[in-house]
A = this chain, B = another copy of it.
Amino acid sequence: MSIDARLTELGIELPEAPLPLAVYVPAVVEGNLVFISGQLPTVNGELRATGKVGEGNGLVAPADAKDYARTAALNGLAVIKSAIGNLDRITRIVKVTGFVACVPDFTAMGAVMNGASELLGDVFGDIGTHARSSIGVPVLPMDSPVEVEMIVAFK
């Protein structure tokens, strides 16, 4: 099954990739690797939420943050498709790095990042399993709760 068909089967619609910016670009292809810029959980160019992840009033709930990590990863796939034309060319999701903007007593950034990892597993199966680092930070661009970057291999 093609990845596009798999996305349809999962009910996932790939967003439009963002346009190249002036001073940097969404993705660079080098050899058989694609390096993507840090992706935020935007839909139609707007962040789905802002703020810090944690338990309590005024914070982004961890379950919501997991969904935002999924959105950021989906934006990453859109960027990769734009760079290499076809997601079927991907041979491996190599590395995922996730930054979670959170309060200092929040320690479950791994569970947040599972939103990205599970999406990649659902879509790509075995070749979607990846090395991963999850990092807590105080703040991300535009006050995004999460930022996800990836390195993928393709043929």
Binding site for B on A (CB under 8 A): 20, 22-28, 30-33, 35-38, 52, 92-97, 99, 101-102, 104-110, 114, 117-118, 120-121, 129-143, 147, 149, 151, 153
Contacts and interface: CB of A to CB of B under 8 A. Distances in A.
A59 to B, nearest CB: 12
B95 A35 contact: yes
Contacts of A135: 38, 99, 137, 140, 147
B149 A133 contact: yes
Count of identical protomers in the assembly: 3
A147 B113 CA distance: 16
Given A107-B141, A136-B137, 8 more contacts: A23-B117, A24-B96, A24-B132, A35-B131, A35-B151, A101-B136, A131-B149, A136-B139
20 contacts: A23-B118, A23-B129, A24-B117, A24-B129, A24-B131, A25-B130, A28-B94, A28-B95, A30-B92, A35-B94, A36-B131, A97-B133, A99-B133, A107-B141, A107-B143, A109-B140, A109-B141, A133-B149, A135-B140, A136-B139
Contacts of A108: 141
A113 to B, nearest CB: 8
